[in-house]
Structure 1
């Protein structure tokens, strides 16, 4: 049997893509390697909260539960996605790991790690990047002998109690983790550039700012941003705390001597752990024989449609079409666009 389309990845992007395909009368199956359809949300740190209110995080056909004017936790999102999968008409298969995708004439062959091959006329890759954390080379850490982990491996502050920690990064995760750690240990937040905030004061979940962002987020201007880091959305007073040195923010260290980091102003600090909150890159190894990728691992696409292969598309890439493409709100819109284009391609 050849499906009209196969969706690879069972997180927010894959689930909404499967729904949009079904709405257009296309037969589809969703393949997710994990046992559940919560995407990466159960793998993030325990205290994670979204920087957008609940009413901006609903996927098509299912409003986000609870009060619309609050910032949901990552666990709430995971539970919402698992329930959302139950509402889909498309087939959802968990525990299916895709090793690679090949093409044979007008069909795509999706090769599973167990030897099974699924055939389809189109493929949407919605695999996110949580399994591909980005660890940039930081020269100052070449001689550092302390622990270096990625934020993907950080869950809670308890194991860092009474230790000295440096958090590297200038995005939402770096700020949230550093602020959480300050209650338990000595922490320094470092980045190559100053932290940029979306606003100068904390944004309440019922602010008119969100209405403006929702409208602006519908504009297909993602290509204008490239891979520009998203400004920190201050929902908890992060700017005030960091400006008040709680936690302290510094420029990057210039060197290390065993467990001691060296700073340009002559200061030296013994550090137990460095946490790299440096983001993720698309997890697209299954397409390595088909696609081309830029220097940051993003596929060559136009608004989510592959530039090389008809019927091959993406949902969930940062700035795929809009400045919110990497969020639940943006993935919802991008999935509708991509499904519409695929349906036309298959006619």
Structure 2
């Protein structure tokens, strides 16, 4: 069994930011990643994904995104950037190492991977983030729907949906972007429980994230404010214009799903070919179940990323972990530094 000062689970944006923060504290971290390369969820997002934050606000600590800092990067740029980021880390990254179990042992935590490897760590950071497990809501009639049911995590491009009637369930930036993407080849409705509130991407000529940073909102704990009321969608005008054409359109969530037909709030009934669920994600932290770190619903018990039940355990990359930006490229580095200060693993540079 190997002994390490700090084990980081996941080599996505949160894990890489944690590894860099650890090095800055004089720690060599072991990063265990289930996939065969770094990047976390990014390689699996849809082809047309474009960030709603410019490059200058979408980088991890110590390594700016190349090119125009005011451009809005696409998925493949971020994938390449994250893989390049690993070249600048002084960390032990091991791929194909899926952590299946973490257990407390004395004053340490023992990690077991799928191939049977075991590691004893003074501290562990779970950096598998909040975007690992697609959330499929319990919609009445969904299991009996004979058409295609697809989560946004499985959507790549619109070609396969040509000529179809598609309903995208759930708003937010991704739902709106996918609906507009699909509308180039299909008849599309976005079904949400509340109205879409369009947020100007560049108020007074400055990107919204510039204002967030200057005002302090970027680091504010705004979860309750964000979750209330309308669905907020950041837009430079393109998506609002797309919805103004009538395809896609936005409708109140359907009241019934029976067979291949949906019943809309106004009583209209129509046949649907595909239901695409843009319904978000949940943290995938089953490997922590033996520790007592999770509540009955599998959610981590923590305060600001520090486990409240398991000494030596922390988290980076959870949505609203500390602030509005906690699950973003620009926010994970800040949270990683705070979590490592709170965990205070022993400063041991070698194993």
Moved over 6 A (4+): 226-230
CA contact (8 A) 1:217 1:330 kept: no
After TM superposition, give the deviation of residue 206 of structure 1 in Å. Answer: 6.6
Are the structure 2 counterparts of residues 142 and 38 from structure 1 closer, same or farther at C-alpha, using a change threshold of 3 Å? closer
Cα 1:226–1:108, aligned 2, differ >3 Å: closer, same or farther?
farther
Larger mean CA deviation between 248-257 and 329-338 belongs to: 248-257
Q: List alignment gaps of at least 5 residues for structure 1.
A: none
Return 135-144 or 225-234, whichever deviates more. Answer: 225-234
Contact residue 10 and residue 30 of structure 1 kept, 8 A: yes
Residue by residue, what CA displacement relative to the aligned partner does 1:60-112 show, whole Å, maximum 9, x if unpaired? 11111111001101111010000001110011111111011001001110101
- Which residue number in structure 2 is paired with residue 221 of structure 1? 221
**Count of residues paired in the alignment:** 344
* 5+ residue gaps, structure 2: none
Worse-superposed segment, 56-65 or 227-236: 227-236
Matched, 1:210 2:209: yes
Q: Distance in 2 between matches of 1:222 and 1:291?
A: 28
Whether 2:37 is the aligned partner of 1:26: answer: no
Q: Is the 8 A contact 1:291 1:299 kept in 2?
A: no
Displacement of 1:332: 1.5
Give runs of aligned pairs for residues 178-189 of structure 1, distance below 5 A: 178-189=179-190
**Distance of aligned partners of 1:80 and 1:320 in 2 relative to their CA distance in 1, 3 Å threshold:** same
C-alpha displacement at 1:161, in angstroms? Answer: 0.4
The question of 1:166 aligning with 2:167 is answered yes
Give the superposition deviation at 1:129: 3.9
Cα distance in 1, alignment partners of residues 294 and 158 from structure 2: 36
- The Cα of 1:266 is off from its aligned counterpart by 2.5
Bigger mean CA offset, 334-343 vs 277-286: 334-343
After superposition, the Cα gap between the structure-2 partners of 1:211 and 1:278, relative to the gap in structure 1 and judged at 3 Å, is same
Matches within 5 A, 1:74-89: 74-89=75-90
1:194 positional shift? 1.5
- Could you tell me the TM-score, scaled by structure 1's length? 0.92
1: CA distance, partners of 2:217 / 2:43: 26
Residue 331 of structure 1 corresponds to which residue in structure 2?
A: 332
Compared with structure 1, are the counterparts of its residues 173 and 209 closer, same or farther at alpha carbon in structure 2 (3 Å cutoff)? closer
126 and 206 in structure 1: CA distance in 2 versus 1, 3 angstrom threshold: farther
- Equivalent-residue separation in structure 2 for 1:289 and 1:323 (angstroms): 30
Q: How many angstroms apart in 2 are the aligned matches of 1:158 and 1:14?
A: 34
Given the two structures, how large is their TM-score scaled by the length of structure 2? Answer: 0.91
* Bigger strand share: 2
